[in-house]
Amino acid sequence: MKAIRVAAPGGLDRLSIDEIDTPRDPAPGEIRVQLKASSLNFHDYGVVSGAMKTEDGRIPMSDGAGVVEAVGDGVEFAPGDHVVSTFFPQWFDGPARIGDFSTTPGDGVDGYAREMVTAPATAFTRAPEGWSHEEAATITTAGLTAWRALIVDGGLKAGDDVLILGTGGVSIWALQIARAMGARVFATSSSDDKRAKLEEMGAAGTVNYRDDTGWGSTIREMTGGRGVDHVVEVGGPATLDQSIDAARIGGHLSLIGVLTGRGGEVPTAKLMAKQQRLQGLIVGSRTMQQDMVRAMERTGIRPVIDRSFPLTEIPDAFAHEESGKHFGKICLSI
């Protein structure tokens, strides 16, 4: 069967299509999945580009969705079930227990840029009923990150105000979840065309952060001077100061991304004075994902997919992500 591998030290020109062995029959507690789709995340880009060190010949991609082909004894799935992978296959429930990517598919272990995989059944959950495989694949990383930030950690409720940064997968997912929960959403973008799309999706206010370098205060004024209750902070060191300005006293900031760098100054005095909660997080547990799947079926939310590429065109897919032109998720069809 076909699989994508990345040769160390990484780079889009070092992705290759290889023939590998078909996975073995599932043992008790395992399933074999015919993979149909994946979706791109900034983390995956870090692996394939070489920004994050990984093993030579690693099969990338943390997100995988497909159809159960065979099952071992004692599993909850049956052949023909549609399933989607989990980011931390060994984190089932409870508080976070993993502080690195050593068990994450596509990074510490081989991922889902291949046609088939045999894995523990607990490494997957069922996919939302009626969703395409590309839609389901967006849950593993981006969807669950937004869900945990707002619902699990943030305790989002109707009437809250939420700030999202940009129009990547996590941010668009957060917009949709917040709107479905009855929250008001504000957003930043450097593209006026993307701002118009955000407003079409229900954003109450948007700011072009290149034109308005003090966008934090602008967002706060849009809330009547109170500030937002939640910030989905995907930028990192270069945006955190403005995010603190945008949030209310006692607000919750979910530190998710490092798009502007892996280290930088934290304005501790301002954070302390505003008595805000700054919480780092990486995706979530299997139970969180199961809760999210049920919620998606009840709310009718469907993810926004910018474009889908065949698996064999994976370098082009990452080049599209690298360009920053996408709105929502970029997918791979397997």
Do 94 and 166 lie in one domain? The reply is no
Beta strands in the chain (DSSP E): 2-6, 15-19, 30-39, 65-71, 82-85, 116-120, 124-126, 161-165, 184-189, 205-208, 228-233, 247-255, 277-280, 305-310, 329-333
Residue with tokens 């791979």: 332
- Cβ atoms within 10 Å, residue 179: 18
Residue located via tokens 């980011």: 87
User: Residue 223 in 3-state DSSP?
Assistant: coil
pLDDT of residue 162: 98
Is 183 domain-assigned?
yes
H or E stretch at 269: helix 268-273
At residue 260, the pLDDT reads 63
Q: Give the pLDDT score at 195.
A: 98
Residues 152 and 220 in one domain: yes
Q: Is the domain of 49 the same as that of 94?
A: yes
Q: How far apart are CA 158 and CA 327, in angstroms?
A: 26
Q: What is the pLDDT of residue 173?
A: 98
Q: Residue 223 belongs to a domain with what CATH number?
A: 3.40.50.720
pLDDT band at 236 (very low <50, low <70, confident <90, very high): confident
CATH number at residue 120: 3.90.180.10
- Verify that 72 and 167 share a domain, yes or no: no
Tokens 């929250």, residue located: 183
Instruction: Determine the Cα–Cα distance for residues 120 and 266; give it in Å rounded to an integer.
Output: 40
Same domain, 73 and 122: yes
Instruction: Let me know whether 151 and 268 are in one domain.
Output: yes
Q: Does 285 reside within a domain?
A: no
Supply the range of the domain harboring residue 102. 2-138+303-333
The region of weakest confidence among 23-37, 126-140, 246-260, 294-308 is 246-260
Say if residue 222 is in the same domain as residue 99. no
> Strand 116-120 and strand 30-39: pairing?
antiparallel
Q: What is the pLDDT of residues 62-121, one digit of tens each?
A: 999 999 999 999 999 999 999 999 999 999 999 998 999 999 999 999 999 999 999 999
Question: In percent, how much of the chain has pLDDT > 70?
Answer: 99
Distance of CA 140 to the CA centre of its chain: 7
Chain-wide mean pLDDT for the chain? 96
Q: What is the pLDDT of residue 259?
A: 62
| pLDDT(264) > 90 | no
Q: Is residue 288 part of a domain?
A: no
Is 261 a residue whose pLDDT tops 70?
no
The distance of Cα 328 from the centroid of its chain, to the nearest Å, equals: 10
| Structure token pair of residue 144 | 């669950």
Residue 262 has pLDDT above 80, yes or no: no
**Residue 295: inside a domain, yes or no?**
no
Query: Domain count of the chain?
Result: 2
Q: Place 257 in a pLDDT band, splitting at 50, 70 and 90.
A: confident
- Give yes or no for a contact between 51 and 96, defined as CB atoms under 8 angstroms apart: no
Does the pLDDT at position 263 exceed 80? Answer: no
Q: Are 242 and 216 in contact (CB under 8 A)?
A: yes
- Please check the confidence at residue 210 and state whether its pLDDT lies above 80: yes
* One-letter amino acid of 106: G
Q: Is residue 297 part of a domain?
A: no
pTM of the model: 0.96
User: Average pLDDT for residues 215-221, to the nearest whole number?
Assistant: 98
For residue 169, name the pLDDT band (cuts at 50, 70, 90). very high
Q: Are residues 47 and 11 in the same domain?
A: yes
Q: Is the peptide bond before 267 cis (omega within 30 degrees of 0)?
A: no
Residue 334: closest CA among 302, 311, 312, 301: 311
Separation CA 190–CA 203 (nearest Å): 15
Residues 86 and 155 in one domain: no
Q: What is the pLDDT of residue 171?
A: 97
User: Tell me: the pLDDT tens digits for 32-66?
Assistant: 999 999 999 999 999 999 999 889 999 999 999 99
Give Cα separations from 129 to 5, 263, 304 (angstroms). 31, 41, 17
